[in-house]
Chains A and B, each alone.
Chain A
Amino acid sequence: MLTPTEISKIEHELQHVPVKKAAVIEALKIVQQERRWVSDENVEDIATLLGMSADEVDSVATFYNLIFRRPVGRHVILVCDSISCWVMGYEDLKKALMDHLQIHYGQTTPDGRFTLLPNACLGTCDHAPALMVDNDLYRDLTPGMIKNILDKYV
Chain B
Amino acid sequence: MEAPLTSNIKPGVSLDIKTYEATGGYQGLRKAMQMTPQEVTALVKESNLRGRGGAGFSTGMKWSFVPMNVEGPKYLICNADEMEPGTFKDRWLLEGNPHQLIEGMIISAYAIQATTSFVFLRWAYKQAAQEIRKAIAEAYAAGYLGNNILGRGFHLEMHLHTGVGRYMCGEETALLNSLEGKRAVPRAKPPFPQISGLFGKPTIVNNVETLSYIPHIVNKGIAWFQSLSRTGDGGTKIYGVSGRVNKPGAWELPMGVTMRELLEEYAGGMQHGYSFRGALPGGASTDFLTSAHLDVPMDFTSVAAAGSRLGTGTMVVLDDHTCPVGFVHNLEHFFAQESCGFCTPCREGLPWTEKILYALERGEGTEEDLEQLDLHTRLLGPGNTFCALAPGAMEPLQSALKYFREDFEQHVHEKKCPYGNYTH
Contact = CB atoms under 8 A, between A and B. Distances in A.
Direct contact of A and B (CB under 8 A): yes
A63 B183 contact: yes
Contacts of A26: 181
B242 A84 contact: yes
B319 A87 contact: yes
A120 B166 CA distance: 8
B327 A87 contact: yes
Nearest to A60: B183
Interface string A23-64: 111101100000000000000000000000000000110011
A122 B128 CA distance: 13
Interface string B412-424: 0000000001011
Contacts of A28: 164
Given A24-B181, A81-B330, 9 more contacts: A22-B181, A83-B316, A88-B244, A120-B338, A121-B284, A123-B122, A125-B248, A137-B124, A137-B127
Contact of B181 (A17, A87, A124): A17
B327 A63 contact: no
Interface stretch (B7-15, B54-62, B82-90, B375-383): B82-90
B124 A125 contact: no
B243 to A, nearest CB: 5
B180 A22 contact: yes
B241 interface: yes
Interface residues of A, number: 42
B179 interface: yes
A18 interface: yes
A27 B319 CA distance: 45
A3 interface: no
A87 B322 contact: yes
Nearest to A136: B126
B250 interface: yes
Contacts of B86: 82-84, 121, 125
A83 B123 contact: no
Contacts of A87: 242-244, 316-319, 322, 327
Nearest to B396: A83
Contacts of A65: 164-166
Contacts of B242: 84, 87-88, 125-126, 128
A51 to B, nearest CB: 12
Given A83-B85, A91-B424, A120-B85, A67 B319 contact: no
A21 interface: yes
Contact of A132 (B124, B159, B180, B337): B124
B240 A63 contact: no
B331 interface: yes
| Residue in A65, A87, A88 with the greatest tally of chain B CB atoms within 10 Å | A87
Interface string B77-95: 0000011111110110000
A60 to B, nearest CB: 6
Contact of B327 (A21, A78, A83, A121): A83
Contacts of B322: 87
B164 A64 contact: yes
A63 B316 contact: no
Interface string B307-320: 00000001011110
A67 B240 contact: no
Would you list the 5 A-B pairs with minimal beta carbon distance, nearest first?
A66-B165, A82-B85, A125-B242, A126-B248, A121-B85
B208 to A, nearest CB: 12
Most buried by B among A25, A29, A121: A121
Contact of A67 (B164, B249, B284, B337): B164
Nearest to A52: B181
B192 interface: no
Contacts of B123: 66
Nearest to A61: B164
Contacts of B183: 59-60, 63
A138 interface: no
B359 to A, nearest CB: 18
21 contacts: A18-B73, A19-B199, A22-B181, A59-B183, A60-B183, A64-B166, A66-B163, A83-B280, A84-B316, A87-B242, A87-B244, A87-B319, A88-B244, A91-B424, A120-B83, A120-B338, A123-B90, A125-B88, A125-B242, A125-B314, A125-B316
B375 to A, nearest CB: 24
A25 B164 contact: yes
Given A83-B86, A83-B327, A83-B334, A126 B167 contact: no
A152 interface: no
A120 B167 contact: yes
Nearest to A20: B181
A67 B178 CA distance: 13
A70 interface: no
B181 A123 contact: no
Contacts of A18: 73, 199
B316 A126 contact: no
A124 B178 CA distance: 24
A106 to B, nearest CB: 13
A86 B180 contact: no
A83 B166 contact: no
A84 B241 CA distance: 10
B182 interface: yes
A24 B284 CA distance: 31
B125 interface: yes
